[in-house]
Amino acid sequence: MNLWSRELTDSRSARVRLALSLVWSIPMLILLWFMTRSPMLCLLLAGSCCYLSVVEFILDHWSLRHPYASENAVRRIRLPWVLRLILCYPVLTFFLR
């Protein structure tokens, strides 16, 4: 059973998805820290994991309020949020060096 492809039933399922996405990002951050020992890279990845988790949480709640919205509508809403994250990396690396 894949948690990410399951139908949302209530706000509790959205909170469970948020919690699990944050918890599952911890081992990745630990592994990255042991491999690179770069605090800047770990902070950027931790920030992007938290950002994406919160964006998905907001989209889950939006999907609950709009049950008849198509998957394409959700993708159109998700695109500007992901583009902000992609465009943010060069700016942050420039300022944090």
- Per residue in 47-78, pLDDT tens? 999 999 999 999 999 989 998 988 899 899 99
Over residues 89-94, mean pLDDT: 82
d(CA 70, CA 64): 12
Domain of 75 in residue numbering reads as 12-96
Q: For residue 18, with 0-12 CB atoms within 10 Å meaning exposed, 13-18 middle and 19 or more buried, which class applies?
A: middle
- Tokens matching residue 89: 């990396």
Amino acid at 4: W
d(CA 30, CA 26): 6
Residue 1 placed within a domain = no
Residue 74 placed within a domain = yes
Amino acid at 24: W
Residue 5 placed within a domain = no
- Total structural domains within the chain: 1
Over residues 14-43, mean pLDDT: 92
Residue 6 placed within a domain = no
82, 42 in Cβ contact below 8 A? no
Per-residue confidence (pLDDT) for residue 1, from 0 to 100: 47
Residue 81 placed within a domain = yes
d(CA 50, CA 48): 5
